[in-house]
Chains A and B, each alone.
Chain A
């Protein structure tokens, strides 16, 4: 498969820029920026979801379990013309569907998510039914790493393992943070790969900001027959804007116009150094 890496980087850049432009209204920016490359790649090259098949049930499904990163999902769908939602006009405006968590009234959003620990089991239900109907659709669930504190995720894996489900992919945005704390300082999640493996999953670990690694790994999906595929994507919270990277306070926040201008400078700098711009 021919992959246009430059186009991917530009989509990611534009989506980040779009999120920054809305930061005066507030969003979970740190969390959105750690999964930018993952969502960009999923919608650009992996998921069979586009403007023309949005209403078909015989397509792929994507559940943003870490729903507070919805702004990034919306920005990328917008950038790729999967839907025409008016972020600039509607984001957080009274009476619109564009708020902090995914809403099914946005074309292409598969379910209301964001209550942590739900989407893995919902994704499993979708995956089971796709198999039952002998369809080819894939189901991708993107979770946070802190979210894995929720026992419901592990309950789901027990069931998925028993049912030998292999059309389900769980991607962990391993940015090492949850709301106000570092994951490993709160409830230790490591060794995470071994945890998933012991629940019967086939696990790969990658750099979640490296499109090459994302592409190579997704190309091998499903990783093993009869097993849930899991990608542990190591990421950085706030990635690309140096001054907010790995800052525990920069999870949900809003900023003044001056601050946003500074963040934009840092963003430009990041992409210039990558030779994208």
Chain B
């Protein structure tokens, strides 16, 4: 199922959802005409969009708002924090071109601090689907959830066969109890899968792949297993090292006296090049 079709179905079924865009129609342009007044575009105005979304949610509606991740999480940050987060409203914030999916636009349009920003907001949950199927499976539940959510939009085709995403807060481990676990989320699952194949074919090294799916809630039970059953945990993310999954998982391990050899593959203290791909 395509993303736009899911939104349209939910509007038809529940009469509670709005599609709101800050001139970011890519994910659902093909259903605009079918959903009538349940869709509106506010123009290039992310703050206004978030305020409006809060107003809709105060009325017990579910606005699903769209903007490029960089402008959603950074331009509108205080509206997300104070209105959606502190207000604990059912606003669903869909960021497109997150990570470095917008690499050629340069650092102005890249979004490698969005998870960190979202994690700093209490109440705000974070969903990073690894492909279109997982995004649809997750959103089927998230669109009916009363909490605010930040969603890293990702409609790529699956690169790996993985389990159905049935329970919010549950990640998955793909592999056969190898010594090394690579923890990742979102679009990077695709890249990590290629890396895993490379390691296997070139060096004969097996790795398990851990797909987090949601960063908040964090699948703590799964991560305890990951720590207990692997000699090395590598966190790979299209994000700054600080404030992303590596930080979140290290923090969880430290607070619970779980020891693990961890390393991070991420961006550290630099803006990414526009040539990075």
Q: Which residues does A use to contact B, with CB under 8 Å?
A: 57, 61, 104, 110-112, 115, 117-130, 132-133, 151-152, 155-156, 158-159, 162-163
Q: Which residues on B sit within 8 Å (CB–CB) of A111?
A: 54, 58, 83, 87
B60 interface residue, CB < 8 Å from A?
Answer: yes
> What is the bound-complex CA distance between A61 and B48, given in angstroms?
19
Contact of A130 among B50, B59, B79 (CB under 8 A): B59
Q: Is the CB of A124 within 8 A of B40?
A: no
Q: Is the CB of A155 within 8 A of B47?
A: yes
CB-defined interface of B73-89 with A at 8 Å, one 1/0 digit per residue?
00000110011001100
Known: A127-B55, A132-B37. A158 touches B86 (CB 8 A): no
How many whole Å from A129's CB to the nearest CB in chain B?
A: 4
Known: A112-B82, A115-B78, A129-B59. A121 touches B52 (CB 8 A): yes
> What is the bound-complex CA distance between A57 and B60, given in angstroms?
9
How many whole Å from B266's CB to the nearest CB in chain A?
A: 32
Q: Is the CB of A122 within 8 A of B43?
A: no
CB-defined interface of B41-54 with A at 8 Å, one 1/0 digit per residue?
01101011011111
Q: Which residues on B sit within 8 Å (CB–CB) of A155?
A: 45, 47-48
Residue of A nearest to B82 (CB): A115
Report the count of interface residues on B (CB-CB < 8 A).
Answer: 27
> What is the bound-complex CA distance between A268 and B45, given in angstroms?
48
Q: Is the CB of A163 within 8 A of B86?
A: no
Known: A115-B78, A158-B45. A122 touches B55 (CB 8 A): yes
Q: Is the CB of B59 within 8 A of A122?
A: no
Contact of B48 among A57, A133, A152 (CB under 8 A): A152
Known: A126-B58, A163-B40. A112 touches B87 (CB 8 A): yes
B56 interface residue, CB < 8 Å from A?
Answer: yes
How many whole Å from B76's CB to the nearest CB in chain A?
A: 9
Q: Is the CB of A156 within 8 A of B82?
A: no
Q: Is the CB of B59 within 8 A of A121?
A: no
Q: Is the CB of B37 within 8 A of A121?
A: no
Q: Which of B52-74 contact A (CB under 8 A)?
A: 52-61, 63
Contact of B55 among A115, A123, A152, A163 (CB under 8 A): A123
